[in-house]
Chain A
Amino acid sequence: MPSNSPSGQTHYVAELEDTPVAAVDRLDESQKARSTWADAWDSMRRRPSFWISSVLILLIVVVALFPSLFAQTAPDACDLGNSNDGPAAGHPLGFTRQGCDVYSRIVFGTQASITVGLLATMLVTLFGVIIGALAGFYGGLLDALVSRIGDIFFAVPTVLGAIVLMSVLPVRTPVTIAVVLSIFAWPQIARIMRGAVLSARNSDYVTASIALGVSNSKILLRHVIPNSLAPVIVIATVSLGTFIVAEATLSFLGIGLGSDVMSWGNDIGQAQTSIRTSPQVLLYPAAALSITVLSFLMLGDVLRDALDPAARARR
């Protein structure tokens, strides 16, 4: 090959060994095949915050399921003689005003918070996904109706609505709180789902499937919903944390879980009178609650980065 000076003025041709010409668009078979979910998993498992949050969540769930494995002292074995005492042998976090073991109450209070968080998230996700998917996919009158109803529920801030309902409800268990919270929280998920479904519905692969003769219900179930779930999963994970905070807030106000139910929110609420003398009574359950919420928020962040297609494109 004649190789002149590479200025633009003379005809320059690169050495062929230096610039080998590859086949046009040949498939690289050396790489392993990976689905989008496998891709997301790959990016998640590289993040320390994913492992920290999942291990914490796993631990919290195990504590919620089997509290007696983690605490030897019964949470209701209280001795007023120990009121607000500091740590003692077998009682690492000290005692509450009623003389109950703080550590044991934290362990046994886990269940209520986790139940409220999980149940409310499940209800909201189920309801929101179904409603949002139907509204977005079928559109028209159904969509208009559902969207307006959603607007109305959206106009009542979740905890405000819950305060009203909880102050008139005679029964106050984790299940009622979860149901009450989800009554006001579903429009958020429904809105996100509707948006995602709308954009999936207008994608070429759905149009292609219609033209291929695939039925509407199959398109919705097999293409549209799976491709719309990513943002919902992220928001659901984050809201699990916020539901736990909401429960604690309601309990703090005295209209959350009944006083007979052991929960972090109740304990924090009851500890407010002791904060000046023995802040640990308030701080330990608050720390347990915050760590739980933090775990879900961290997991939500990791999921967002892993599932967000824009973020994936940037990698």
Chain B
Amino acid sequence: MTQIANDDVFQTLPASPTTTDSASRQPLLQIRDLEVGFQTQHGLVPAVRGVSLTLYEGQTLAIVGESGSGKTTTAQAIINLLAGTGKVTAGEILFEGRDLTKLSAKEIQDVRGRLIGYVPQDPMSNLNPVWNIGYQVEEAIKANNVAQGKREVRKRTIEVLQEAGLSDAADRLKQYPHQFSGGMRQRVLIGIGLSARPRLLIADEPTSALDVTVQRQILDHLGTLTRDYGTSVLFITHDLGLAAERAEQLVVMYKGKVVESGPSREILANPRHPYTQRLVAAAPSLASRRIQAKKNPQADAEKIYSEGSLDTGLIARATKRENAAPDRDLISVQGVTKVYRIRKGGFRSDELLAVNDVSFGVKKGTTTAIVGESGSGKSTVAKLILQLEGITKGRIEFDGQDVAGLKGAELLKFRRRVQPVFQDPYGSLDPQYNVGNTIAEPLLAHKVGTARERQARVLELLDQVSLPSSTRFRYPSELSGGQRQRIAVARALALKPDVLVLDEAVSALDVLVQGQILNLLTELQAELDLTYLFITHDLAVVRLVADNVCVMKKGQIVEAATTDEVFDNPRELYTQELLSAIPGGNFEFGR
């Protein structure tokens, strides 16, 4: 179908082993027709349906899939870590020729840790909060007979942690998990996973909870360690770009089945299954976006369901907007500072400078993105603009009016024009309100229209976010994350506001759903002449939707410019770091 135009784009790929011919070797791990099911009230629900994959020694293989694709279940089935009622119902898992599914509890315990290491997903919940770090690493070392004797074990513990990138490990052994940051906890978990120098390491989304720059550091480090030890890696991720960057082999899973597998570069260059093609099209690549838009000029009414890939018209519209920008700022943030008081023990308190002298303007009808890592103060800026928190210093103007200290009817009027959409689609809708009442709530609060008119407006809004009218009777628990987020957008639009403040509004969504919501937002912006303030940690998304970008770090804006400038000529070192840390950022995806 398509040839790869330029091999250089794959330069970051780890060199595939050239010294040995993989076909002649014995595979380290071979999964054949694996079926895993979970026993529920309604009988056995299959989660993995006939998965096969092969991993050779020294290789890194990535399983890519959305939430619910069965990728984690597949990984956990290998060393029988399945939760509660899950069990392998068919197939075999051959590790060095032994079928792991047929091992006794004692035998599989011997495989765990010693032969197959495991690095879990969420660093916050995977360390036991009541034991100190040293103890939890020592435990792994003792269980796998890596070292004997108190002194040796301790020495090895420090080694393991230092190798995982905690240079001050010796001093921190007595500390507890809650005294470590997320990135450091993840390093501890990696250290534990590799402590016995296993033949295979299963890494289940080891960095998805972390900032991109931390993610990059940790994955680089993990790559070096596994290469040094000759450890094979089974890498589980939802991020195609990350998978392509870190693994030679890809297995794409969808609804419990493998839809496509093979060498990474071949799959990325030439995805053949329609699902993989969609994933590739929606992958957060910075370079390929425009190319794809040119090559993909179809746009039909149902496209919101057919593809998560970005809509063709998007770039054109963005260009049009840039040209038609009016002169006055709709939102003007001038020297805004926010200080929080944090109570420390007793009567002392610390001041936390969350936002430090931040200034920027947003023009009507445009999208301004505020980008930063956790703790950068970006969400605080959103709260300040939404008047959910008072500012410590500075001035925020909306449509020429100072909004600080607005009260009563004035505040209500402001709220009517500036509406939020929050990150967590599970938390931002009241679980006890049905969708109709949720969308109608702002109308009711502002006493807009009669009951019948409000009802009509709810239907109109549901239509705008491409949901059937029957959705109004449903409750949030019955909807998917993406559908909830569409409801949140509909609610925000109910009062026909001028500005939407989107705080990480697409961050928690699977990539196809994310693409769908971004398309929707772009269409709505054009249709309703909306102004967006887009708060995100994800630079790849910024490229798709924003006209202007403010990069924040430690409460300050370090760089502010148009999106093209920031992406093409980042001036600040920090921005460059952020850009280069975007997984798969350098890939040329698809056809």
Contacts and interface: CB of A to CB of B under 8 A. Distances in A.
A contacts B directly (C-beta below 8 A): yes
Interface of A: 1-2, 6-14, 16, 18-19, 21-27, 29, 31, 33-37, 39, 203-205, 207-215, 218, 223, 226-227, 314-315
A13 B471 contact: no
B320 to A, nearest CB: 27
B263 A6 contact: no
Contact of A11 (B22, B267, B475): B267
B61 interface: yes
Given A25-B480, A27-B483, A213 B429 contact: no
B251 A33 contact: no
Nearest to A314: B84
A25 B420 contact: no
A18 B260 CA distance: 12
A12 B259 CA distance: 8
B223 to A, nearest CB: 18
Given A8-B261, A22-B255, 8 more contacts: A6-B261, A11-B262, A18-B257, A36-B432, A209-B430, A211-B418, A212-B441, A214-B442
B386 interface: yes
Contact of A14 (B53, B258, B432): B258
Given A8-B262, A29-B468, A13 B273 contact: yes
A207 B386 CA distance: 10
A58 B272 CA distance: 64
B442 A213 contact: yes
Given A16-B274, A208-B420, A9 B431 contact: no
Contact of B54 (A9, A22, A23, A29): A9
B432 A227 contact: yes
Contacts of B434: 33, 35
Contacts of B267: 11
A112 to B, nearest CB: 37
A9 B445 contact: no
B136 interface: no
B55 A8 contact: yes
A31 B423 CA distance: 27
A-B interface, 9 closest residue pairs, ranked by CB to CB distance from nearest: A11-B262, A213-B415, A204-B428, A204-B427, A23-B305, A7-B54, A33-B473, A25-B482, A6-B52
A76 to B, nearest CB: 50
16 contacts: A8-B53, A8-B56, A8-B251, A9-B22, A12-B262, A16-B274, A19-B273, A23-B305, A34-B475, A34-B478, A36-B477, A204-B424, A204-B427, A207-B420, A211-B415, A213-B411
Contacts of A204: 422-424, 427-428
Contacts of B262: 8-12
B40 interface: yes
Contact of A25 (B22, B260, B473, B516): B516
B23 interface: yes
B99 interface: no
Contacts of A16: 273-274
B512 interface: yes
A254 B513 CA distance: 69
A169 to B, nearest CB: 42
Query: Which residue among A1, A36, A204, A314 has the maximum number of chain B CB atoms within 10 Å of its CB?
Result: A204
B306 interface: yes
B567 interface: no
Interface residues of B, number: 82
B254 interface: yes
A203 B495 CA distance: 22
Interface in B430-444: 430-434, 441-442
B445 A214 contact: yes
Contacts of A314: 84
B130 to A, nearest CB: 20
Contact of B445 (A1, A13, A218): A218
Interface in B227-270: 249, 251, 254-255, 257-263, 266-267, 270
Contacts of B251: 8
Given A8-B53, A25-B483, A207-B422, A1 B475 contact: no
Residue among A33, A34, A37 facing the most chain B CB atoms (10 A cut-off):
A33
Interface in B1-52: 22-23, 27, 30, 40-41, 52
B430 A24 contact: no
A263 B323 CA distance: 85
A205 B516 contact: no
A22 B513 CA distance: 13
B419 interface: yes
B260 A315 contact: no
A24 B429 CA distance: 21
B176 interface: no
B415 A24 contact: no
A6 B249 CA distance: 12
Interface in B53-91: 53-56, 59, 61, 84
Nearest to B85: A314
B488 A11 contact: no
Contact of B427 (A12, A39, A205, A315): A205
Contacts of A10: 262
B278 interface: yes
A45 B131 CA distance: 42
Residue from A39, A213, A218 with most neighbouring chain B CB atoms (10 Å): A213
Nearest to A203: B427
B52 to A, nearest CB: 4
B98 interface: no
B478 A31 contact: yes
A100 to B, nearest CB: 50
B420 A24 contact: no
A282 B372 CA distance: 72
B436 to A, nearest CB: 10
Max chain A CB contacts within 10 Å: which of B261, B430, B446, B516?
A: B430
Contacts of B468: 27, 29
Contacts of B386: 211
Given A7-B54, A14-B260, A213 B446 contact: yes
Contacts of A19: 254-255, 257, 259, 273, 275
Nearest to A312: B477
Contacts of A214: 441-442, 445
Nearest to B247: A8
Contact of A212 (B61, B266, B442, B475): B442
Nearest to B309: A24
A293 B306 CA distance: 58
B318 interface: no
Interface in B465-501: 467-468, 470-471, 473-475, 477-480, 482-483, 488, 491, 495
Contacts of B433: 223
A29 B468 CA distance: 9
Nearest to B248: A8
A73 to B, nearest CB: 48
B193 to A, nearest CB: 21
Contact of B263 (A1, A11, A14, A215): A11
Contacts of B266: 11
A12 B253 CA distance: 12
B416 interface: yes
A2 B273 CA distance: 11
A10 B249 CA distance: 9
B70 to A, nearest CB: 12
B211 interface: no
Contact of A24 (B307, B428, B479): B307
B388 interface: yes
